[in-house]
Amino acid sequence: MFRRLLLALCLLPIAACEEGAISAADESIRMTFVADEGLHDPAFEGRVSYTVSAAHLGLTARAADGRIVPGLATSWRVLDEGHSYVFKLREAYWPDGRRITSGDVVAVLRRQLSPGSVSPLKPYLMDIEGAIAVAGNRAPPRMLGVADPLPDVVTITLSQENPNLLALLAEPSLAILRSRDDPPPPSGAYRIEREDGAPRALLPNLSWYGADEETPLTPIWLTDALPADDAIESYMKGDTDIVIGGDTAGLRRVQAPDLAPSLRMERTYGFYGYLARTGAGPLADPKVRRALSMAIDREAIINDLFALPDLQAAYGPLPPTLPPAYAGAVPDWSVWTQEARMGEARRLLAEAGIAPDKSISLDVALPQGGETHTEVLNAIAERWAPLGITLRGYTRRPDDHRKAIADGDFDLALIERIAPMPLARYFLRPFRCDVRLGGFCSPEADGLMRQADASTDRGTRIDMTRRAARIIAEEAPILPVFSPVRWALVRPGIGGWEDNISGAHPPRFLTRGS
């Protein structure tokens, strides 16, 4: 069935007529990603990670609604109170006919945790037994707690329980790739068609284990990634069927009434706010940072600019959308009235020598992302001006924005971090003393995070993490504003899209209706 469908499709502009080549024909879906502004984490977001996930199997996978479902593993058992996982692999093959075995899986995990690995997920896999020693080059790879006792069985042993393990194994960074091939052959539902090295289409992979299913896969045509406003314009012109990957940039414009039938919004595990340069300058004083965070009227920004019920005010480094066990990792003043916060902010600033007649100016690094970022900053500037704080915003291209943050070329820098799972360590990692983002280091908070890493008791780890987050919230190296929403535009008639907090929308479930 797949072969008949593919032969009926039109051609890529770069290729002659051949099996598997497509254009934006009626049977396919045109998809546009919102371009990275310098805020996205490529490990979790963007066109590359999306196409990798479509073309390569992980041990686990995401369903259309974001649930964890079987991938290469057809099933798994959790033993020893969450310390051991046994995965049963399905019969799946590489395009050359060789079977994908448990040895391939073990090789991938060993590569991920090798001393020279720069995998973005490496810090979150240290719960695997032996991972710390292997990653630190103090033990050989065979000492890692992953094994292949049978060609179709993989075991993973943990030194401490990790409730996010199955979700991590579904991430594109942990896809089962055959490293000796460049590019690696596909093992998932799709193969990637490229032009000048960039992904241009996702075409059904005829060697995928599900290729004989009755329902054919829909080919996906990938347009150039565009800034949020341009992607919205492209959709309104009818040049694309799905705009995916939208966050705060473009959020105001996408709420236009004529886009309402197409607009999809999802809560996220994430925060939107401003990183402070704590190593030098006026924000080296924690009293000043604390005062500025108090003076942000988060509820007014949410209600006046967005009026979205899924936007939640954020007061600390952990998103308010994390599980209730992390509740309380916010400063005491978060429950005060805005009037009381402003009064305390004036007092703290006065102690630091800042007042309306002794004002200071702060440089704010912003990405080029349309008007939304500027409107949020202007709303904050209005609140800060009576306190003696003026702001100068500088917009930069994506690479320049990242460089400005890395170089400390800012007083405040906009950051927006979103994860596909409730991974508290992901949000606290920038504030560890071995990272020193913005120059921040709290030995007390760092010690608690290290204790959390070392503890084998899940309750103790959560408690230590929450206490560390509360200290960071009080020290205010980050001035959070809200937990953002993720938006997309989906053409009416396209099926298989289900809103979910993980932001997973696998192409294998998407269909094009009449």
d(CA 370, CA 375): 10
* Domains of the chain: total: 3
Backbone dihedral angles phi then psi of residue 219, each to the nearest 5 degrees: -65, 145
Same domain for 257 and 355? no
Q: What is the pLDDT of residues 124-152, one digit of tens each?
A: 999 999 999 999 999 999 999 999 999 99
Tokens (6 digits) for 440: 């921040």
Q: What is the pTM of this model?
A: 0.90
Same domain for 371 and 427? yes
Same domain for 296 and 396? yes
Same domain for 287 and 252? no
Same domain for 32 and 87? no
Maximum C-alpha span of the chain: 76
Q: What is the pLDDT of residues 195-218, one digit of tens each?
A: 887 889 999 998 888 876 667 899
Same domain for 181 and 195? no
Q: Which of 161, 185, 209 is the last residue of a domain?
A: 185
Give 507: exposed, middle or buried? Use CB within 10 Å, 0-12, 13-18, 19+.
buried
Q: Which of 185, 204, 239 is the last residue of a domain?
A: 185
Q: What is the CATH number of the domain that holds 145?
A: 3.90.76.10
Domain residues for the domain of 144 are 57-185
Give 336: exposed, middle or buried? Use CB within 10 Å, 0-12, 13-18, 19+.
middle
Q: What is the pLDDT of residues 287-309, one digit of tens each?
A: 999 999 999 999 999 999 999 98
Same domain for 334 and 378? yes
Which amino acid is present at 253?
Answer: R
pLDDT tops 80 at residue 45: no
Same domain for 289 and 330? yes
Buried b (16+ CB within 10 A) or exposed e, 359-388: ebebbbbbbbbbebbeebbebbbebbeebb
Backbone dihedral angles phi then psi of residue 377, each to the nearest 5 degrees: -65, -40
Lowest mean pLDDT among 11-20, 35-44, 219-228, 495-504: 11-20
pLDDT tops 80 at residue 4: no
Secondary structure of residue 494 in the 3-state scheme = strand
3-state secondary structure 65-125: CCCEEECCEEEEEEEHHHCEEEEEECCCECCCCCECCHHHHHHHHHHHCCCCCCCCCHHHC
Same domain for 235 and 121? no
Q: What is the pLDDT of residues 305-335, one digit of tens each?
A: 999 988 999 999 999 999 999 998 999 999 9
Q: Are 35 and 251 in contact (CB under 8 A)?
A: no
Q: Which of 138, 154, 185 is the last residue of a domain?
A: 185
d(CA 39, CA 8): 40
Residue 3: per-residue pLDDT = 37
Q: What is the CATH number of the domain that holds 244?
A: 3.40.190.10
Residue 21: per-residue pLDDT = 38
Residue 115: per-residue pLDDT = 94
Secondary structure letter of residue 321 according to DSSP: T
Same domain for 465 and 494? no
Which amino acid is present at 58?
Answer: G
Residues in contact with 246: Cβ distance below 8 Å, sequence separation at least 6, in sequence order: 34, 228, 231, 254, 486, 487, 488, 489
Q: What is the pLDDT of residues 386-442, one digit of tens each?
A: 999 999 999 999 999 999 999 999 999 999 999 999 999 999 999 999 999 999 999
d(CA 305, CA 309): 12
How distant, in Å, are the alpha carbons of 97, 187, 241, 259 from that of 204? 17, 11, 19, 31
Q: What is the mean pLDDT of residues 106-117?
A: 94
d(CA 233, CA 370): 13
Same domain for 398 and 292? yes
Q: Are 338 and 297 in contact (CB under 8 A)?
A: yes
Do β-strands 220-222 and 198-204 pair in parallel, antiparallel, or remain unpaired? antiparallel
Same domain for 196 and 304? no
